[in-house]
Amino acid sequence: MSNEAVADIAVVGLAVMGQNLILNMNDKGFVVCAFNRTVSKVDDFLANEAKGTKIVGAHSLEEMAKKLKRPRRVLLLVKAGSAVDSMIEKMLPYLEKGDIIIDAGNSEYTDTNRRFKELGEKGFLFVGSGISGGEEGARHGPSMMPGGAQEAWPHIKDIFQKVSAKVGSDSCCDWVGEAGAGHFVKMVHNGIEYGDMQLIGEAYNLLKDAVGLNYDEMSVVFDDWNKGELDSYLIQITAEILRFKDDRGQPLVPQIRDTAGQKGTGKWTGIAALTYGIPVTLIGACVLQCFILKLFAEYLCRSRQRQGEGEAVFARCLSSLKSDRITASNVLMGPRTKPEEYVKDKKEFIEHIRRVSH
């Protein structure tokens, strides 16, 4: 591999997010240097997904640094936490003062504040950037939330705004502030998403169990909502998911295990809100239910369990605690009322659900 300084930016971390963001940058005319701790992934990427592009690879951090134009721009997409600190520590001997290090992972904003201060004292420009949109967004246009060393922005602005999603002619990317502001915004963004998904989950539960709608009927309701003030990506995909059928023509949703993980950003939002005295009742309740049920389940495990059957709570923050929910359902009996006893006027009740979801 040539060591000529040809690359506009380097991306460290070749999981799907990293690969897709590199391909997106390449499509927008930027030369990207790809690096991964397991160097065989670099060769695999260049030989397959990146074949025929201008993307270059590096087998070492030293080689990566030599291939970058000045000031060097290095974007990290590695696991949040100690892995970020470890990679930065290994990179620094090959970088110079004024070079730009971008953490685009799901880091906690307090860690970004610390790295911003430590690297700034050494003469490096550190940026913490939230990225929203997942793997598909990384490939075709994410929302990006950079913050940190203001002096870095002119050197990364063109890349970030060209690869990000667009609303009309406006880029879904702008500078949001200093230090950990970028990751703070992403944290709050994720917390709001938790709240939105909680509302959607509760609306689904009411439509299914109180109104008695089937999956196709619920899909029509969410489609209708998406044409009005509830118009959003989450409402749109909920409608699409509810009408999706498997190979046998059966609704897919009830066949999916009702568990989902969380990366901690919802919890961080609640902690930050308490720290700064900001009420985030919906997000906080969503997160706190998780811990309340966990404690309750632990108490039940130490007590004599009674037999019975109950309806598990449909909520994102509780969903990962499947075994605990089952334990709790053996004690906390859900209502046995038939849907028609709940709802006399279905149309009116559905409208009430729509209004409280706004």
Kindly report the backbone phi and psi dihedral angles of residue 319, in degrees, each rounded to the nearest multiple of 5, phi listed first: -65, -30
For residues 80 and 105, the answer to whether their CB atoms sit within 8 Å is yes
* Host H or E run for residue 321: none
Q: Catalytic amino acids?
A: 186, 193
pLDDT at 323 over 80: no
Burial class (CB within 10 angstroms; exposed 0-12, middle 13-18, buried 19+) of 329: middle
Q: What is the pLDDT of residue 244?
A: 96
Number of helices and strands (H, E) in the chain? 16, 9
User: Could you tell me what percent of the chain has a pLDDT over 70?
Assistant: 84
Grade residue 8 by pLDDT with cuts at 50, 70 and 90: very high
* Mean pLDDT score across all residues of the chain: 87
Calculate the CA 33 to chain-centre distance. 25
Highest mean pLDDT among 153-162, 210-219, 338-347: 153-162
Highest mean pLDDT among 245-249, 283-287, 302-306, 333-337: 245-249
Q: Which domains does the chain have, with CATH numbers?
A: 9-179 (3.40.50.720), 187-356 (1.10.1040.10)
pLDDT in tens, 140-158: 999 999 999 999 999 999 9
- Model's pTM, two decimal places? 0.81
CA distance 103 to 12: 10
- In this predicted model, which residue has the larger pLDDT, 278 or 218? 218
Grade residue 273 by pLDDT with cuts at 50, 70 and 90: confident
CA count, 13 A, side-chain hemisphere, 125: 19
pLDDT at 173 over 70: yes
- In this predicted model, which residue has the larger pLDDT, 210 or 4? 210
Q: How far is CA 38 from CA 46, 65, 302, in A?
A: 14, 17, 46
